[in-house]
Amino acid sequence: MDDLTDFWVHTVTVEALEGVNGYGQKTYADPVEVTGFMDETLKLVRDKTGAQVVSSSTFYCPTSSREDFPAGSKVTYDSAVSEVITCRTLDSGELDLPDHLMVRLT
């Protein structure tokens, strides 16, 4: 149990991007439910190529879920499907504060 458990009040379904098949279609892993906190605030961010894009929401969750959120993965929350723009680990280092992920979504 981490120090942020009381804040993990939302659940999303994630289908991690695995790659592209021979037909140019994206392939995804089986859906996984992840509990965290969804902040539905618009924000201008940069994607992995450095281009500016609008993030419609940010999902915060435990760092143990890191492998579930590669860029391009599908995230479903409240029946709306989004795509992962970026996923960052927010690490407090020696401060001994709770570490977590910040996942920017389209």
Residues 83, 106 contacting (CB under 8 angstroms): yes
State how far the alpha carbon of 96 is from the alpha carbons of 15, 52, 65, 79, 99, in Å. 31, 33, 20, 36, 8
Dump pLDDT digits (tens) for 33-55. Answer: 999 999 999 999 998 888 999 99
Count the domains in the chain: 1
Cα-atom radius of gyration of the chain, to the nearest Å?
14
At 72, the pLDDT band (50, 70, 90 cuts) reads very high
What's the CATH number where 64 sits?
Answer: 2.40.10
Percent of the chain whose predicted confidence (pLDDT) is above 70? 98
At 2, the pLDDT band (50, 70, 90 cuts) reads low
> What per-residue confidence (pLDDT) applies to 103?
95
As a whole number, the mean pLDDT across the chain is 91
The type of residue at 75 is: V
- Across 18-46, average pLDDT: 94
Tell me which residue range forms the domain holding 19: 5-105
